[in-house]
A and B are shown apart, each in its own frame.
Chain A
Amino acid sequence: MAIAEWRKQLELGEVSARELVDQKLSRIAEVENSLHAFLVVTADRARAEADRIDEARAAGEVLPPLAGIPLAIKDNLCTKGVKTTCSSRMLKNFVPPYESTVTERLWKSGAVLLGKTNLDEFAMGSSTETSAFGATSNPWNLKMVPGGSSGGSAAAVASGECLASLGSDTGGSIRQPASFCGVVGLKPTYGRVSRWGLVAFASSLDQVGPFANTVADAAEVLQVIAGADHRDSTCLEAPVPNYIEALSQPVTGLRIGLIKECFDQQGLSSAVKDSVMNAASHLQKLGIELVEVSCPRFNDGIATYYVIAPSEASANLARYDGVKYGYRSEDKDSLLSMTARSRAEGFGSEVQRRILIGTYALSAGYVDAYYKKAQQVRTLIRRDFDNAFQKVDLLLTPTSPSTAFASGAHLNDPLSMYISDLLTIPANLAGLPAISLPCGFDEKGLPIGVQLIANVLDESRLLQVSHQYEQTAKVMSRRPSAELIP
């Protein structure tokens, strides 16, 4: 059931906020053992908040739009008084004394925190397997990964543990797990949503966005979290349009570009390709014109990303030194060994790998060949998109070259893991909004996602086309059933 319908039921008194929260908590209790989407469930806080909302409603107060809506939050978003671990041993006991802007806005809108969700350590990964606190399973098939890095948030929505959730997307960390879990995942324009309180991975790429069952639900969440924030200099001042009203605007006559380079991928599975092409045909039936476009530098995205993101990460993660907060090694031989051991023991191997890559890419003698060159390619990729948007309103690609892969399949082969984000990374490099929508299933019954990319700040258009596709194509007739989860 969509958020709007729950809101109606809550308003009519057909269900109380407390009942809704209890329903979700019992669903969590039912599936968490096999799923492990959550790192912590804030049951007491959720119940207390729901009671407070019910009392306010009974007292006749006018309640904000998300009053009583239970949400899950990726555990790299700071929540005041609630542990925020980034799935890292380093921050195992870190309790932030401040609230992230996005969650602050959600709580002000009446949303209820159910818990914090699992992720790849510091959001570095595409399978949620690098979490220091255990992997998350895919609700459609427990032997499969949910994608990553926001795997917990995606799985929680897909399995019905919450109505919607927040994730963060640096190279596809919202869209790829959305695709693997058969839910809607939206990465807004860089700067549309404040990063204050989002633990940084790669600051020029990170962006917070929603996971939801429907496009309309994603729009509801975006509506609340988007907008200027004086605590984040990179947050845009542009006014926030009404995304919910935009959903039903006509789509006839719009032009969508199919990025040629994406469909020529070697690793693209035929099931994914067919499903995505079907989705494109469906859009055509809605009166949208399909055009083939070329973004020659599109496939250079992954190489560019794996220089820029680790470079920024190597600096962003330098603060974890065992001095001020977080994990400190028992090693007390010297300052240097204390810091080095704290980092060696506190960070997992994927995080260490990226810190090493980034440190190397920024080192004297290499910075020109790697970091600066990558920035130049990034500009070229952005230019490709600019050119494409001269001709079309949106771009269409598969979200990921494959459906969810088996747990452990790529864990010891970082490069094959990185390929999973091949199609999502370019939108991050260009700062563009992009969405992943369920568009079908493969032969194993695993969901497939189609990605739509819009021009800067054109989230309305993205949501509008996505909504109308979703409402007419009706591909999500199936849900991961409780039986699937033993």
Chain B
Amino acid sequence: MQGSESTWEAVIGLETHVQLGTDSKIFTSASTAFGDQPNTHIDPVVCGLPGTLPVLNQKVLEYAVKAAMALNLKIAEHSKFDRKQYFYPDLPKNYQISQYDEPIAEDGWIDVEVAEKGKDTYVKKIGIERLHMEEDAGKLVHAGSDRLAGSTHSLVDYNRAGVALAEIVSKPDLRTGREAAEYASEIRRIMRYLGVSDGNMQEGSLRCDVNISVRRGPEEPFGTKVEIKNMNSFSAIQKACEYEIKRQIKAYEQGEAVVQETRLWDEGKQTTKSMRSKEGSSDYRYFPDPDLGPIEVNAELRDRWRAALPELPASKRKRYVEDFGLSAYDARVLTDELAMASYFEAVVAAGSDVKSASNWITGDLAAYINANKLSFAELVFSPKDLAEMIQMIIKGQISGKIAKEILPELLANGGSPKKLVETKGLGMISDTKEITLIVEELLKSHPDEVQAFRGGKKKLLGFFVGQLMKKTGGKADPKLANQILNKKLNQ
């Protein structure tokens, strides 16, 4: 089978840069706000002016350690910062303060659920090599042309320079584009659960670089590694990997070499293209930064931060399936965002039926949240009130149809569904006497149809049901209405 695509195996590792969402930068009090006028969030430290010194923002350390704990990494008691040296105008000091050989955390893993249309969903344990802290660089804006190639000059914006990053390096445990996308998505989900990053890929607060090679089978040595950058979504990660796997296999099968290089994902053309070759590895002349002392995380701090970790998505997914009896799919949807999961749990805690809660939340409520660009945390319709509404349906106090009718008002203004139903007089008519009276009146006013029904036109039952609902404004208990209609018509 040698040479056929089915025996080829891809080996993929991800380097994920997560911007830690502290208000101020990693080594100074300048703001980290995104999207403002260029060079408005800078200070002498950010610009690397002579005589300035970095001082570690303790919140950055806390966020990095919490992130590392959530990724099951071992936290180093002592670590340090190093200077990574290279000249580029977006790097104010021409060295980046990073961590080289003693990162804050090493050797962890996460469970990633891999779900793809038409394939079995499975959970895969992905190893994580390390997590380290570093400062982000600024941005170059090339001017005088739409493209770098024709530009006459470049402008530098240091707003992003010095924003704290956690770089998370996976082990080369990923085998498909889908796995890579699911892994990245799980990293983002975890960071958002922890509240240490918003993980916004469009704004660059989560950036993934892919390292990818192919080999003829699991026992074969690794092939030549190619790095891919510039993917702005999880689907782009998946597609870039899939494209690159095909490209590399084709190259090998045609007897060509795969060059060690960095390639860029072109979202428009859906291809990767060569950016620069990496033949000689760059010499960054790392050495310990003498301006920053050793980073110490003592047991007391570790315990305090560990105790403050929330339940993580993988654990929630498991619990929703095992304890709540939900499907893997529902569990996945409900736990995608912590705010949604928390809302769901609060509805269940308020006494609601689990399946109904899941249906309402992932259906109508999620649609409303998406349409209005809200978060479940901002919803004025409280979990308690949703639970109340679900109870009313189950008890037959309102129909599902009425519930859907009153929902927009509840979502917009909040408040008790019971009260709203009372004010609007929308409660279901489930009183036998009352319905009987209405039915008798209805039959009286439609003698011809009654006669036709009794003469065998049984289809006319639908007509009577419709008339009854029209008369009651949809409030008649449908089961009861059918019963009584049948009884009276067949008398």
B291 at the interface (CB under 8 A from A): yes
Residue pair B44, A232 in contact (C-beta under 8 Å): no
Q: Contact at B55–A232, with CB atoms within 8 Å?
A: yes
Q: Measured between C-beta atoms, what is the minimum distance from B166 to chain A in Å?
A: 20
Q: Is A359 an interface residue (CB 8 A)?
A: yes
Q: Chain B residues near A323: list those with CB within 8 A.
A: 89, 156
CB under 8 Å from chain A, chain B span 15-60:
44, 47-56
Contact between A315 and B85, CB atoms less than 8 A apart: yes
Instruction: Tell me the interface secondary structure of chain A in the complex.
Output: loop
Is B93 part of the contact surface with A, judged by Cβ < 8 Å? yes
Point out the residues of chain B lying under 8 angstroms from A91, CB to CB: 50
Give the size of the chain A interface in residues (CB under 8 angstroms): 43
**Which of the candidate stretches A92-100, A143-151, A269-277, A434-442 sits at the interface with the other chain?**
A92-100
Contact of A196 among B51, B87, B94, B95 (CB under 8 A): B51
Q: Which residues of B contact A77 (CB under 8 A)?
A: 51
Task: From B51, B55, B94, B285, give the contact of A230 (CB < 8 A).
Answer: B55
Contact B291 A234 (CB under 8 A): yes
Number of interface residues of B (CB under 8 A): 29
Q: Which of A199-207, A410-418, A471-479 contacts B (4 or more CB under 8 A)?
A: A199-207
Is B92 an interface position by the 8 A CB rule?
yes
Q: A335, B89: Cβ atoms under 8 Å?
A: yes
Q: Is B287 at the interface (CB under 8 A from chain A)?
A: yes
In angstroms, Cα B290 to Cα A318, docked, is 15
Distance of A325 Cα from B51 Cα, bound (Å): 13
> By the criterion CB–CB under 8 Å, are B51 and A363 in contact?
no
Q: Mark A288-329, 1 if CB is under 8 A from B, else 0.
A: 000000000000000000000001101100110101110000
From A100, A321, A339, give the contact of B51 (CB < 8 A). A100
The proximity string for B residues 290-334 relative to A, scoring 1 for CB distances below 8 Å and 0 otherwise, is 111100000000000000000000000000000000000000000
B422 on the A face (CB < 8 A)? no
List of A residues within 8 angstroms of B132 by Cβ? none
Is there a chain A Cβ closer than 8 Å to B283's Cβ? Answer: yes
Cβ of B55 and Cβ of A321 under 8 Å apart?
A: no
- Inter-chain contact total with CB atoms closer than 8 Å: 101
The residue on B at minimum CB distance from A358 is B285
Shortest CB-to-CB span from B149 to chain A, Å, is 14
Q: Closest CB of chain A to B85's CB: distance in Å?
A: 6
Residue A450 at the B interface, CB < 8 A? Answer: no
Cβ contacts under 8 Å, B130 to chain A: none
Q: A234-B291, A311-B287 are known contacts. Are A96 and B89 too (CB-CB below 8 A)? A: no
Residues of A within 8 A of B178 (CB): none
Asked whether B188 is an interface residue with its Cβ less than 8 Å from the other chain, the reply is no
B66: Cβ under 8 A from any A Cβ: no
Please tell me which one of the listed residues B44, B93, B154, B292 contacts residue A97 in the complex, with CB atoms under 8 A apart. Answer: B44
**In the assembly, what is the distance between CA of A363 and CA of B87, in Å?**
15
Please indicate the chain A residues that have their CB under 8 angstroms from the CB of B95 in the complex. 315, 318
Indicate if the CB atoms of B94 and A319 lie closer than 8 Å: yes
Q: Are A200 and B50 in contact (CB under 8 A)?
A: yes
A233–B50 touching, CB < 8 Å? no
- Minimal beta-carbon separation of A317 from chain B (angstroms): 9
Q: Which residues of A contact B50 (CB under 8 A)?
A: 78, 84, 86, 91, 94, 96, 199-200, 319
Report yes or no: A319 in contact with B93, Cβ–Cβ below 8 A. Answer: yes
Do A196 and B283 contact each other (CB < 8 Å), given the known contacts A312-B290, A318-B93, A319-B92?
no
Residue of B nearest to A360 (CB): B285
Q: Give chain B's interface residues, CB within 8 Å of chain A.
A: 44, 47-56, 83, 85, 87, 89, 92-95, 154, 156, 283, 285-287, 290-293
14 additional contacts (CB under 8 A) given A200-B291, A363-B283: A84-B51, A96-B51, A98-B51, A196-B52, A197-B51, A198-B51, A203-B290, A232-B53, A233-B56, A234-B292, A315-B85, A315-B285, A319-B94, A321-B89
Lowest 4 CB-CB distances: which A-B pairs, in order?
A: A318-B94, A204-B290, A203-B290, A362-B285
23 A-B pairs (CB sep. < 8 Å) = A77-B51, A78-B51, A96-B51, A97-B49, A98-B49, A98-B52, A100-B51, A195-B53, A198-B51, A203-B291, A231-B53, A234-B291, A318-B85, A319-B48, A319-B50, A319-B94, A324-B47, A324-B48, A325-B49, A362-B287, A363-B285, A364-B285, A371-B287
Interface residues of A (CB under 8 A from B): 76-78, 84, 86, 91, 94, 96-98, 100, 195-200, 202-204, 230-234, 311-312, 314-315, 318-319, 321, 323-325, 335, 339, 359, 362-364, 367, 371
